[in-house]
Structure 1
Amino acid sequence: EGFEEITYECLNILRSRKVPFVVAANKIDKIPGWVEGEFRPFAEAIKHQPPHVQRRLEELVYNIVAKFEELGFQADRYDRIRDFARTVAIIPTSAKTGEGIPDLLLVLAGLSQRYMLKRLYVSDVPAKGVVLERRDVMGLGSVIDVIIYDGVLRKEDSIVLGGMGGPIVTKIRSILMPKPMDEMRDPEDRFKSVDEVVAAAGVRIVAQGLDDAIAGSPIFSARSQQDVETAIKQVSEEISKIRITTDALGVVVKADTLGSLEALVSKLQEMGVPVRLADIGKVSKRDVVEATITREKDAYRGVILAFNVGVYPDAEHEIESRGIPLFKSNVIYRLIDDYLDWVKKKMDEEKRQTLASLILPGKAQILRGYVFRRSDPAIVGVEVLAGRLKPGYPLMNAKGRRLGTIMQIQEQKKVLSEAVAGQAVAISIRGDVTIGRQVDEGDYIYVDVPPDHIRLIKEKFADQLSKPELELLKEIIKIKRASGRYM
């Protein structure tokens, strides 16, 4: 299937954190004609494939290499790499048959031993880890699935981890590990109880008070009161860096884990989007209130971004009644793109509305022989030479004297909302004007653009006008300055 949105998201996070990685090019068993063999190393499996299968595999690997090159990475199939420090290793695998998995584990182990040897040392100290998720298990209550990456976890230890209301301190009741050949997330939950776990390992911890445990939270084991106090401080400091509550005029961000929250907030800040509140869990009524406060002063920031979380029923009602924009997605970059696209469309629409409310430059010539009425109102035939004329636009002559306001525009007895350059139309002018006095046949007339409109056009909407319209605006400014009506 190649690169998907989630692939780009992961690569961006890995690149930003400078994390080394390898690529598991999965589903090789789906190549038409692939000869399967359970848990074979790739180097062996490829020898059993027909030539056309090998060619197709080469094409698919080449596509991955080419895509990585586009993204600024050097990559190749793992068995062709000489310098793993400079080249991303691609390991063809099949999660279904297990083919290539031995190679994947070998490369991971080899790279870890080669480049992370000092960090692989494990001492007999209290365990450190990360909470993957919290779940309810029948007969056990709330449990947490954890990766222990350093130290030793013992059944008699206390643990400290992040909770929705602050650090959670509790005693371990059970440490459960998957039985051999059994997956951690297997729905049958076939685990065995152990008294001690040495890093690195994935375990399930049973304890009281885990209902509000936060996925992605750091977790520490403690064997003394001093260990507990130190761990509480560490957990509080790490979580406070990610969970944000400020008075800033910014967006409200909710996510399912601390890791995804950190990635989302980091990306928003990188793109210059301020964050007012960032927290874990479903969108709540409080979040809606915070977004409402921001929207009163900044409509573009008064929104809620929800990554992989739901919305409480009372919050849904508040969102609907208050009209707060809610953006939801399970892909970080899609979520941000949806929000930024909305901002752009909203800004473009407001810009169009503001531009439509402005009086824009226009120039026309009164056609000889087409004076239908000389005054009150004057009705004449004109040719629009540049810009546009609209009902309600004020007019002036070439000396800057105000003539009046356009009442109506007609073309062959059809009423128009505007006339643009190149059109010949009839206009009625209400005001202090008499054809033959203030203006005559063959004379040029101009839209009398107000000074504040001129400034706004020059500052914000110059890119919306054509070159002839900008030249005409300069001409109008010159006429108004000469008559003392523009400073």
Structure 2
Amino acid sequence: MSSGAPRGQGQVVRLSRGASLSDFADKINANPGSLVQEMFNLGEMVTATQSCSDDTLQLLGEHLGFDIQIVSPEDEDRELLAQFNIDLDAEVAEERLVSRAPVVTVMGHVDHGKTKLLDAIRKANVVAGEAGGITQHIGAYQVHVPHDGVDRAVTFIDTPGHEAFTAMRARGAQVTDIVILVVAADDGVMPQTIEALNHAKAADVPIVVAVNKVDKPEANPDKVRQQLTEYGLVAEEYGGETMFVNVAAKPGIGIEELLEAVLLTADASLELTAPIDGPAQGVAIEAHLDKGRGAVATVLVQKGTLRAGDSIVAGGAHGRVRAMLDENGNQVAEAGPARPVMVLGLTAPPGAGDTFLAAADDRTVRQIAEQRQARRRAAAFANSRGRATLETLMEQLKEGEKTSLNLILKGDGSGSVEALEDALFSLDIPEEVQLKVLDRGVGAITESNVMLASASSEPVTIIGFNVRASNKVREIADREGVEIRYYTVIYQAIEEIEAALKGLLKPEYEEVELGSAEIRDVFRSSKIGNISGCIVRSGIIRRNAKARLLRDGTVVADNLTITSLKRFKDDATEVREGFECGLTLGGYNNVQVGDIIETFEMREKVRA
């Protein structure tokens, strides 16, 4: 109480994630030094400018009688944009609204033919370019369909099918109006089918089921319909509301019917409208660094119209739209609602799922991007640092005993890097091993990545996902002793890192019983002490094996070694069950007739 920090009577204080004690002090008109003192009294050492975790801020607020409210990232962003008179949720006058194309996400189990289905829809072959036939990126495409004599557009988002990409798939559902759930007729409902279904339900979007591969002899489309009724998807022909369409992507069967079903679902259950005028808003679906073109982001416009030359901000990246390309690589001058385009001109690749918006001028977008970056850094710093309490200081010093695997992740797209990181942190890692991601980024492995790895006090591995290091960078890595590993399939990277983590664990040993012998006679020797004459009761008795001595079922001596073993007068390495032998227990002479000698060895346990 003597430090002079003001006391609040339940007064509400709003703080952003990663706020410092100085920020808190500003809000309550206090001296930051007094808050540092209060934290010290509470048993925590925090500097005035250090980013604090949510728990630390709540603890101090409770102590001083303030009601601390941590502003959510979304609210934080709204408050930031409000400073620039931008309101993302502003009501739009009805006369400004025009109908827009439905945005469709294709989901389903790995290898059920999602990409082949999209190929058939847009008559282009994407699968041939994917490693192991697995979609590694989110792509967005628009196709035109004649429907009731009108040319209608449908936008497709292709999400990767492997379970490691759950984070990206959930994002795909956020921007989605309709989900096409692809289920192979020869395979039925699989774990990822259910996972995709749960994402679609969580996003509260209508589902159209594409029963794929119906041309195969072992196909059973009716079984798929029955299986999905268990998960609340009842086909129209069974009296339900879900449209099921039988398709075969390779021969192109049922594609028109599927598109028809999508448009019917959109018209029946959705009112898809958006304002076409005004500054553009939308979502970055995927981004990567291109050698010749810099940061390239695939964005989906949701409101307004995006034009070449507009100043835009996407997440922590900003820039001016230098050019816009459609899915075929052709330049487009403008993109309206539900139109996916590739945008060139950003300073850095935005994260998959970041919102983007066009603003009046370059200065505004730069300020928004810089403030977002600063807030993300503060929040990340607060989360990455453990709370340094007086009690845990000694524990932190002891943490040197823990083994850690330090990684730097580089990939060709922000979605891939994020999915890889999510998958790594969801691995079942034992407590004595820590996994740390020191840095992540999009683009080739650079000199600065290698220098960061070499400057670390612990070994660091650089993971390159679909990216490589130049010869010069490789030479520096060799010279600095930094390991670089390359991957093109995400679950191969996950498996190897999991194996590496298990390899860092100290080996665990278990005791394996070898055999037991009963002492029948004891011979005294002035040279080597007592010799036990034994008969082997079970297993084998081996020279130099570990042993323990039991008398009347109680362990009399442990951690002994069989130093010599003889059959009659000859030395033996081992004696089997039913045979007699003579042996000595190194340095231990207190043996009696009737004692049991148990032998065992320690074997390394294979970790699960």
TM-score (norm 1): 0.58
Residues 78-477 of structure 1: pairs in structure 2 closer than 5 A: 82-84=240-242, 89=244, 92-94=247-249, 97=252, 99-113=253-267, 117=271, 120-127=273-280, 128-130=282-284, 132-134=286-288, 141-142=293-294, 144=296, 146-150=298-302, 151-161=304-314, 167-169=317-319, 171-177=320-326, 184-185=327-328, 189=329, 191-194=330-333, 196-207=334-345, 212-213=348-349, 216=352, 218-224=355-361, 227-229=364-366, 231-232=368-369, 236=373, 246=384, 251-252=406-407, 253-271=409-427, 274-281=435-442, 282-283=444-445, 296=458, 305-311=463-469, 313=471, 328-344=486-502, 347=505, 350-352=507-509, 355=510, 364-368=517-521, 375-376=527-528, 378-385=530-537, 391=544, 393=546, 396=549, 398=551, 400=556, 405-409=561-565, 415-416=572-573, 425-431=581-587, 433=589, 438-445=590-597
In percent, how many aligned pairs have the same letter?
Answer: 17
Structure 2 Cα separation of the partners of residues 14 and 238 of structure 1: 23
Tell me the secondary structure at the aligned position of residue 21 of structure 1: strand
Tell me the secondary structure at the aligned position of residue 59 of structure 1: coil
Tell me the secondary structure at the aligned position of residue 336 of structure 1: helix
Structure 1 Cα separation of the partners of residues 513 and 451 of structure 2: 40
Q: Is the 8 A contact 1:27 1:95 kept in 2?
A: no
User: CA 1:448/1:236 → structure 2, altered by over 3 Å: closer, same or farther?
Assistant: closer
Offset of residue 246 of structure 1: 4.3
Mean Cα deviation higher: 266-275 or 252-261:
266-275
The one-letter code of the counterpart of 2:563 is: M
The one-letter code of the counterpart of 1:276 is: V
Q: Which has the higher contact order (CA 8 A, sep 6+)?
A: 2
Structure 2 Cα separation of the partners of residues 94 and 444 of structure 1: 73
User: CA 1:401/1:27 → structure 2, altered by over 3 Å: closer, same or farther?
Assistant: closer
What value does the CA root-mean-square deviation take over the aligned residues?
5.5
User: CA 1:445/1:339 → structure 2, altered by over 3 Å: closer, same or farther?
Assistant: same
Structure 2 Cα separation of the partners of residues 2 and 155 of structure 1: 38
The one-letter code of the counterpart of 1:351 is: E
Query: Could you report, residue by residue, the CA deviation over 1:343-364 in whole angstroms, capped at 9, with x for unpaired residues?
Result: 44665x8224xx48xx989753
Matched, 1:59 2:219: yes
The one-letter code of the counterpart of 2:317 is: P
User: CA 1:200/1:91 → structure 2, altered by over 3 Å: closer, same or farther?
Assistant: farther
Partner of 2:105: none
Partner of 1:22: 180
The one-letter code of the counterpart of 2:420 is: L
List runs of 5+ in structure 2 lacking aligned partners.
Answer: 1-110, 114-132, 135-159, 187-210, 387-403, 430-434
Structure 2 Cα separation of the partners of residues 193 and 18 of structure 1: 24
Query: Could you report, residue by residue, the CA deviation over 1:408-461 in whole angstroms, capped at 9, with x for unpaired residues?
Result: 345695753x7788775543344253xxxx334443346799xxx9xxx9xx98
Offset of residue 130 of structure 1: 1.6
Structure 2 Cα separation of the partners of residues 175 and 403 of structure 1: 75
Structure 2 Cα separation of the partners of residues 424 and 365 of structure 1: 10
Structure 2 Cα separation of the partners of residues 278 and 100 of structure 1: 46
The one-letter code of the counterpart of 2:591 is: V
The one-letter code of the counterpart of 2:441 is: I
Tell me the secondary structure at the aligned position of residue 264 of structure 1: helix
| Higher-Rg member (1/2) | 1
Offset of residue 153 of structure 1: 0.6
Offset of residue 407 of structure 1: 1.5
Tell me the secondary structure at the aligned position of residue 276 of structure 1: strand
Query: Could you report, residue by residue, the CA deviation over 1:314-365 in whole angstroms, capped at 9, with x for unpaired residues?
Result: 6656777888776654444443233324444665x8224xx48xx9897532
Offset of residue 391 of structure 1: 1.3
User: CA 1:360/1:132 → structure 2, altered by over 3 Å: closer, same or farther?
Assistant: same
Partner of 2:85: none
Higher strand share: 2
Q: Is the 8 A contact 1:23 1:91 kept in 2?
A: no
Structure 1 Cα separation of the partners of residues 414 and 578 of structure 2: 62
Query: Could you report, residue by residue, the CA deviation over 1:207-257 in whole angstroms, capped at 9, with x for unpaired residues?
Result: 4x66x5457465432223575256526863897699889468564243332
Q: Is the 8 A contact 1:384 1:422 kept in 2?
A: yes
Count of aligned pairs between the two proteins: 391
Q: Is the 8 A contact 2:185 2:220 kept in 1?
A: no
The one-letter code of the counterpart of 2:278 is: V
List runs of 5+ in structure 1 lacking aligned partners.
Answer: 29-45, 47-52, 178-183, 465-487
Structure 1 Cα separation of the partners of residues 179 and 289 of structure 2: 29
Query: Could you report, residue by residue, the CA deviation over 1:28-57 in whole angstroms, capped at 9, with x for unpaired residues?
Result: 9xxxxxxxxxxxxxxxxx9xxxxxx97747
Query: Could you report, residue by residue, the CA deviation over 1:258-309 in whole angstroms, capped at 9, with x for unpaired residues?
Result: 222333333333445544335123445665677789895xx9xx65554433
Higher helix share: 1
